[in-house]
C-alpha cells in the first residue's frame, strides 16, 4: 500500500506561503503568548447567503472568524523532539482546549457579533473528530 506524501516542493514552499499569508491578512494567535494551536482572522463574509447545517444563515457582510493552525506550535513541538506516537493525541487535546477558549471568548463578546467560524485544513480527519 502506498502512502500519500506531498511533493517535496510543497513542503519547501509551505513556510514561505505561511509568511506571505500573515503579511496579507492580520492573522493573530488565539492566545496572547502564542502558545496555542489556533490562530484566527476576523473577516467579513463576501459570498452569497448560505444556510449552515444547523439552520443558521451567513449573509454578505456578516463577521466570521477564519481559523488557522499555528505553525509555530508544530515547530516548537518538533524542537522538543517528542515521540511521533504522542502527536495525534496531543494535537487533538490542544485543539479541543483552544476551541473551548475560543468559545468562551466569543460568548464573552470579545470579537463582537460573530455569525460563524470558518476553517479549511488538510487535517480534515482530526477536525471531523472534533465536530467540524
pLDDT digits (tens, 9 = 90+) for 31-43: 989 889 899 999 9
Q: CA nearest 123: which of 73, 81, 79, 76?
A: 73
Q: CA nearest 42: which of 67, 20, 19, 21?
A: 67
Residue 34 near residue 40 (C-beta atoms within 8 A): no
Count of domains for the chain = 1
Residue with cell 503568548: 33
How confident is the model at residue 17, as a pLDDT?
Answer: 73
Query: Is 83 a domain residue?
Result: yes
Distance CA 132, CA 32 (A): 25
Query: Is 7 a domain residue?
Result: no
How confident is the model at residue 59, as a pLDDT?
Answer: 96
Query: Is 8 a domain residue?
Result: no
Average per-residue pLDDT for the chain? 80
Query: Is 88 a domain residue?
Result: yes
Query: Is 113 a domain residue?
Result: yes
What pTM, to 2 d.p., does this model score?
A: 0.72
SS3 for the chain is CCCCCCCHHHHHHHHHHHHHHHHHCCCEECCCCCCCCEEEEEEECCCCCEECCCCCEECCCCEEEEEEECHHHHHHHHHCCCCHHHHHHHHHHHHHHHHHHHHHHHHCCCCCCCCEEEECCCCHHHHHHCCC
How confident is the model at residue 77, as a pLDDT?
Answer: 73
Q: Which domain holds residue 37?
A: 26-129
Q: What is the pLDDT of residues 84-130, one digit of tens each?
A: 446 677 778 888 899 999 999 999 999 999 999 988 766 666 666 66
Query: Is 12 a domain residue?
Result: no
Amino acid at each position: 500500500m502506498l502512502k500519500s506524501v506531498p511533493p517535496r516542493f510543497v513542503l519547501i514552499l509551505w513556510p514561505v506561503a505561511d509568511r506571505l499569508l500573515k503579511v496579507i491578512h492580520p492573522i493573530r494567535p488565539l492566545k496572547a503568548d502564542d502558545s496555542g494551536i489556533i490562530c484566527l482572522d476576523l473577516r467579513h463574509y463576501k459570498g452569497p447567503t448560505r444556510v449552515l447545517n444547523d439552520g443558521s444563515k451567513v449573509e454578505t457582510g456578516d463577521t466570521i472568524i477564519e481559523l488557522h493552525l499555528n505553525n509555530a506550535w508544530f515547530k516548537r513541538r518538533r524542537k522538543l523532539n517528542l515521540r511521533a506516537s504522542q502527536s495525534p493525541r496531543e494535537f487533538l487535546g490542544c485543539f479541543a482546549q483552544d476551541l473551548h477558549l475560543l468559545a468562551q471568548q466569543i460568548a464573552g463578546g470579545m470579537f463582537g457579533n460573530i455569525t460563524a467560524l470558518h476553517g479549511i485544513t488538510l487535517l480534515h480527519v482530526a477536525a471531523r473528530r472534533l465536530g467540524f
